[in-house]
Structure 1
Amino acid sequence: MCPHRPQCPSADARDREAALVVAFHPEQGWWLLCNGMVIFDDTGELLPDGRSVPARRGPSQQAA
């Protein structure tokens, strides 16, 4: 259960990405949120129940 006030949105809420960061490893490209979600720097998500949410953007476009 979230100890923050107001409580962080649950992993099932529409605004679930608004939960506070409790651990982060930007060098590895991920952040753990208070609601148990893992957010990746490519915008993909891993939900606490193991389901994944695909990235909302495609691979980065590198200049030639």
Structure 2
Amino acid sequence: MCQHQPPCPTADSPDREAARQVAHHPEQGWSLLCNGVLLFEDTGELLPDGQIIAPHRPLAASRVMKAA
């Protein structure tokens, strides 16, 4: 799917979120990456095979929110 050089990480790679965006819709809260991954603003993902990756915000962000 990816035509970039060097190629972007595949959808099953641990670093799949590093792939380039091919569509970005911030008003709807999602981006499509060149490896076929739908990346949502809450950090959840939908992989091309239909697998759902739950949101995974960093713990440091949640600590900041609690302290505020």
Does the pair score TM above 0.5? yes
Unaligned stretches of 5+ in structure 2? none
Give aligned pairs, total: 59
Report how far residue 56 of structure 1 moved. 1.1
- Share of identical aligned residues, percent? 63
Larger helix fraction of residues? 2
- Distance (whole Å) between structure 2 residues aligned to residue 29 and residue 38 of structure 1: 10
Aligned to 1:5: 5
Report how far residue 53 of structure 1 moved. 0.4
Where in structure 2 are the equivalents of 1:6-45 lying within 5 Å? 6-45=6-45
Where in structure 1 do 4 or more consecutive aligned residues deviate above 2 Å? none
SS in structure 1 at match of 2:12? coil
Counterpart code for 1:56: H
Aligned to 2:53: 53
Task: Give the alignment's Cα RMSD to 1 decimal.
Answer: 1.3
User: What are the superposed Cα offsets for residues 14-45 of structure 1, whole Å, 9 maximum, x if unpaired?
Assistant: 11000000001000000000000000000000
Report how far residue 5 of structure 1 moved. 0.4
Counterpart code for 1:54: A
